[in-house]
Structure 1
Amino acid sequence: MKLMTLATSLAVASLAAALPLRGDGIFKRQLTCPVDVVTCSAEANGVDACCLPDNGQLLLVQQWLPGYGPPTEFTMHGLWPNTCSNGIIGFCDDSRKYTDIEARLNSYPGGSSLVKDLHTFWPSYKNDNNAFWAHEWSKHGTCLSNLAPKCTSGAPKDNDVYTYFDQTLKMRSKYNLYQALAENGILPGSTPQTAKIQEAMQAKFGVQAEVNCKGGVLNEIWLYFNVKNGIRDWVPVTPVDTGSCRGAISYPKKTTGGGPKPTTSVVPTPSVKPTTTTPPGSIPTGIQKGKCDTNNATVCVQPGVSHQYSKCVNGTWILNQCKTGLVCHSDSATATRCAAK
């Protein structure tokens, strides 16, 4: 019986040694982990935190930042583990708060290729990519319990860091937001209804998303997931919130070629005539498009009737809207206010 036990142990050890490590999040007790148990389910109660993340609701947060990343791609903000009751957590392991993510990944076997992809698909609008990655890792990556070094067996140094970023980019590629929108006729340069964006998410991924705006401009789309089998298999779930976008929003084009914009101010280009014909001296109306030269200028679409108005933001007209129950009123050729009819 002892010989059989020893032989069995050796066989198990041999199998564990043969399993791939890089990017797969192999776990210390993987051979005893349950198969296909989904986080945040009743079956997940009591499952080892090295098998499934104990913060079992994961948010894949992608952003649309004109001037950053390829012109036909959303870029990453982060992968955020939350509690199953949507509790927000962060900075779960101070001993792994790293500031040198790029150097660690470049030193990891095959990591230089990942770093190249990170610069393309995970850029910082503050133009310091490494600092951005370090923040996302320290705040969110350390909260994936099954990536902790104590859960791995024979993995290279920084396998946890590699797996977090590698798996996130893989899921960004799988859940391609630009493609989902384009397949439903929603392209940059348009002003889609938020409901149409949600219809596109539902058609492509089987669930809606949290669609967030800044000043009436599409900014981020959050997809919610539970996971099983480590973090290899993702199960889309209904979002806790549908987001801050309302009605028609601006989905602006990115600058040609993508890539970070300089941090210095840019001189606005000359304005383009508005889309409506307005006699000289009159107050303009209608949806304004193209370039503009008076930053923060606003123009009502239909003064006293419509809640929508165009606003000049960084040299480009975008479509905004008043809060529910208010409409746009024109005070001058470049100033409006939201008030009751």
Structure 2
Amino acid sequence: MAIFTSQVVAAFLLALPLAHAGSPKTCSNPQLSCQNTTAVSDTCCFNAPGGQLLQTQFWDTSPSTGPSNSWTIHGLWPDHCDGTYDSSCDPSRAYTNITAILQSYGKTDLLSYMNEFWVDINGDDESFWEHEWGKHGTCISTLAPSCYTGYTPQEEVPDFFQKTVDLFKTLDSYTALASAGIVPSSSATYTAAQITAALESAFGYPVTIQCSSGALDEIWYSFDVQGSVQTGTFVPTPPVGQTSSCSSTGIKYLPKSGSPVSTSVPSSTHTTLSTSTKTTSSASSSPTGGSGTFSGSGYLNAITSGSQTGCLISAGTWYTSGTCATYTATASGSGFTLKSSKGSCGISSSKFTCGSSVTATVFTASGGYLSYGGSTMFYAAAVPSGSTQEAISTTSNSVSVSFEWQSK
């Protein structure tokens, strides 16, 4: 990439014929899309019928696109609240000059980012952007020209691409997977449960994954929106109506060629990623275990739907209303054993349990989470409440949960 002096950059920007945009409609007390019980007529402040917004991402390996340690942008899709969708809603606004439009509004930084992270597998980025705008962007009700005061032609285009990029920057899929020990490999395979659990832990809600030829290649994150796409709040939500094309086991996550990029997920100023947190009397959920092992004494905090919800008590059961048990981790072979005041802990008949007659199991850790058999995911019949305790199993059940180590 060419390096320009500050004087040249300034001259270039001053020479651009910048368009002067109007402003999106002001929305007072907007409703959350897909959560209304009666029809909402003002579709400039309420996304309808496409109220379930999906930020979709690609992992392209043949050929590779984007940095080797980052997913890339597919698009922003306005699905109906039942998962169906409209497409190509306004042919008169199916613009074929996306780059020129963004330049006319001074969006040079946005274009630079898109050229690295919103790239076409066949090398034709402009056609890809035109497709995403024409098929999906024109179906977002709050981006209609009538939803602007002092509308300037095509000003909804930079709003669409900017919002998509802003959302993508808050959704670092590569790091979310890597933190759970799921990294690109030419030989390793993963289960769908492992992949979705890692992403759900980071996002706070279930996501939808897609595969091609047995390899992971897409992730779909779902949002409802309170207000307009331009100025509203994106609220994470479980997907409705989307299905995965991945098998349950044996999923490849192939490496990309190319160079890595320094990645981080900034704090979002416009996206609400809030989840409720219940803690027991030992409170904090700050992981202090190493990526591959636990040592010394600590607690095993339960993490489900992205939040700490109780912890394990001394018998190895999940509890939300009492004091967390102290576990002692002792190095053993390629991992470690665990012990509580009840005795050694192990997996017996697929159940996690601790007691004087239990044969100790050698566990490992991944990203600060307890791991057994290569997976950080455990299961329960329900999330415990009140004085109820729930048994923990390695066999799939209604609730998935991971256990994060917190050193004492």
| TM bracket, shorter-chain basis | 0.5 to 0.7
Match of 1:123, SS state, is coil
Distance apart, 1:137 and its partner CA = 0.3
Q: Percent identity?
A: 37
Structure 1 pair 111/155, CA: closer, same or farther in 2 (3 Å)?
Answer: farther
Structure 1 pair 26/146, CA: closer, same or farther in 2 (3 Å)?
Answer: farther
Quote the Cα distance in structure 2 between the aligned partners of 1:78 and 1:42: 25
Quote the Cα distance in structure 1 between the aligned partners of 2:43 and 2:191: 41
Quote the Cα distance in structure 2 between the aligned partners of 1:155 and 1:193: 49
Deviations 1:60-113 (A, max 9, x none): 1101012100111111111111112222210111110111111111111x2121
Does residue 252 of structure 2 align to residue 250 of structure 1? Answer: yes
Match of 1:102, SS state, is helix
Structure 1 pair 98/179, CA: closer, same or farther in 2 (3 Å)?
Answer: same
Structure 1 residue aligned with 2:31:
37
- Matched residue type, 2:216: L
Structure with bigger strand share is 2
The 5 Å alignment of 1:126-205 reads 126-189=122-185, 190-205=188-203
Structure 1 pair 89/177, CA: closer, same or farther in 2 (3 Å)?
Answer: same
Does residue 58 of structure 2 align to residue 63 of structure 1? Answer: yes
Contact 1:59 1:222 in 2 (8 A): yes
TM-score by structure 1 length? 0.64
Quote the Cα distance in structure 2 between the aligned partners of 1:244 and 1:94: 30
Larger mean CA deviation between 34-43 and 215-224 belongs to: 34-43
Structure 1 pair 49/130, CA: closer, same or farther in 2 (3 Å)?
Answer: same
Deviations 1:128-156 (A, max 9, x none): 10011001100100011111121111354
Quote the Cα distance in structure 2 between the aligned partners of 1:182 and 1:41: 34
Quote the Cα distance in structure 2 between the aligned partners of 1:133 and 1:85: 26
Match of 2:149, SS state, is coil
Quote the Cα distance in structure 2 between the aligned partners of 1:101 and 1:72: 27
Distance apart, 1:241 and its partner CA = 3.5
Structure 1 residue aligned with 2:228:
230
- Matched residue type, 1:185: G
Distance apart, 1:120 and its partner CA = 0.7
Aligned length in residues: 233
Larger mean CA deviation between 39-48 and 157-166 belongs to: 39-48
The 5 Å alignment of 1:46-57 reads 46-54=40-48, 55-57=50-52
Candidates 110, 123, 138, aligned match of 2:119: 123
Candidates 84, 90, 96, aligned match of 1:93: 90
Q: Which runs of 5+ in 1 are unaligned?
A: 1-20, 260-341
- Matched residue type, 1:57: Q
Structure 1 pair 242/201, CA: closer, same or farther in 2 (3 Å)?
Answer: farther
Contact 1:210 1:243 in 2 (8 A): yes
Structure 1 residue aligned with 2:100:
103
Contact 1:37 1:43 in 2 (8 A): no
Q: Which runs of 5+ in 2 are unaligned?
A: 1-19, 262-408
Deviations 1:174-213 (A, max 9, x none): 1121121112121111422211111112211111111111
Distance apart, 1:36 and its partner CA = 4.9
Contact 1:57 1:226 in 2 (8 A): yes
- Please provide the CA RMSD for this pair: 2.1
Quote the Cα distance in structure 2 between the aligned partners of 1:163 and 1:179: 27
- Matched residue type, 1:206: G
Looking at both structures, which has the greater relative contact order when contacts are Cα pairs under 8 Å and sequence separation is at least 6?
Answer: 1
The 5 Å alignment of 1:203-214 reads 203-214=201-212
Contact 1:27 1:51 in 2 (8 A): no
Structure with bigger helix share is 1
Match of 2:133, SS state, is helix
Deviations 1:290-313 (A, max 9, x none): xxxxxxxxxxxxxxxxxxxxxxxx
